[in-house]
Structure 1
């Protein structure tokens, strides 16, 4: 990485040649990386970005896997509850419907958006962004969709919903017989795939590919 104390004044460089550390705000010249290399801040050691292999192809595979898991994760039973001879199967969708039917419409809308609606929108935005790069069409729309995706990131709360499910299972374990359903396995798999996707889909390379600075993001 170039030394930030270089005698060349940073203010004379174009913005595209500069990068700022997200942790300590150090402004420095943007280094050019080879495949597999990563740039770190010389002051605090924070990883600025990395240049990964086959970003688009790997990310596309993960997005498709996440979309395939989305339906079973939300509509297959998460758990089966047996209490006093009565049995019920609960899914993410039935939880939303149950809240709505009991008069908590506002909470049901929030749960639907954070656990089903926004996660699906995020995946669709990622899919379309990657397709614009892979097919080299409509990259201006890809830029817009990628901005929308970044605004949606903080609203998709699958991990919070999962924690709520696990807490419910622990609290009900002494009161009823609980059987974990296939939906919970799919839900956890969906969460893990999305976390992996966040790592694999290098923002630096995606932004460069969408702006036309790097036409080899898939290499």
Structure 2
């Protein structure tokens, strides 16, 4: 169900900030909508989705983040593909790609790939897990807000989808040149990417912030 966020000619500037919301796309100032479960509010001017109030956010997000963490190691260290060329067989993983770049003299590229495809995605998942545990156990609320703020800064640096596109391009180019077999690591990598995307959709930011704020108020 989609409901447009209410807009009123009343003097919005006189209201407390917690009763207002600004559209991230067109900067329209509006009353903060009061949503029921499975409702969402969209900007009446540009249609941007402001809020989505989803059911069981905490449980669903925990299940997804734990799934992603389980898939992280096999996605990065199990073979993505096995290449048979002129009697020689090689197995490639995400980690072996980083090592190969480093040994070939492209240290900066290897560092960027390592950070964007392994370190940052792992840090994002750990931040999400810690925030959800803070909400579930109702502990370390201030610290949880800082971690969640750090997570939003890390979002721009995780590039699993770019790495997956690179893998798919390599498969297309090599499939006619050699005997190519897909490995378990590729399917784990795709599962990791899908789990992270689904987690981004499920873990509604305004509900997480509200839960952290409610816990903070309850502690006083």
In the alignment, structure 1 residue 90 sits paired with structure 2 residue 118: no
In the alignment, structure 1 residue 187 sits paired with structure 2 residue 176: no
Unpaired segments ≥5 residues, structure 2: none
User: Residue 7 of structure 2 aligns with which residue?
Assistant: 4
Unpaired segments ≥5 residues, structure 1: none
| Number of residue equivalences | 214
Q: TM-score w.r.t. structure 2 length?
A: 0.94
User: Residue 176 of structure 1 aligns with which residue?
Assistant: 178
Q: TM-score w.r.t. structure 1 length?
A: 0.94
In the alignment, structure 1 residue 165 sits paired with structure 2 residue 193: no
SS at match of 1:50: strand
Cα deviation for residue 23 of structure 1 reads 2.0
Cα deviation for residue 213 of structure 1 reads 7.2
Cα deviation for residue 214 of structure 1 reads 9.6
Partner of residue 40 from structure 2, selected from 31, 38, 41: 38
Deviates more, 1:115-124 or 1:32-41: 32-41
Alignment check: 8 A CA contact 2:12 2:30 kept: yes
Deviates more, 1:182-191 or 1:206-215: 206-215
Q: Distance in 2 between matches of 1:45 and 1:101?
A: 49
Alignment check: 8 A CA contact 1:205 1:214 kept: no
Cα deviation for residue 105 of structure 1 reads 1.2
Q: 1:208 to 1:141 in 2, by over 3 A?
A: same
Query: Which deviations, in whole Å up to 9, do the C-alpha atoms of 1:31-51 show, x marking residues without a partner?
Result: 111111111112222211111
Cα deviation for residue 166 of structure 1 reads 0.7
SS at match of 2:91: strand
Root mean square deviation, CA, Å: 1.5
Query: Which deviations, in whole Å up to 9, do the C-alpha atoms of 1:153-193 show, x marking residues without a partner?
Result: 01010000001111111111121111000000000010001
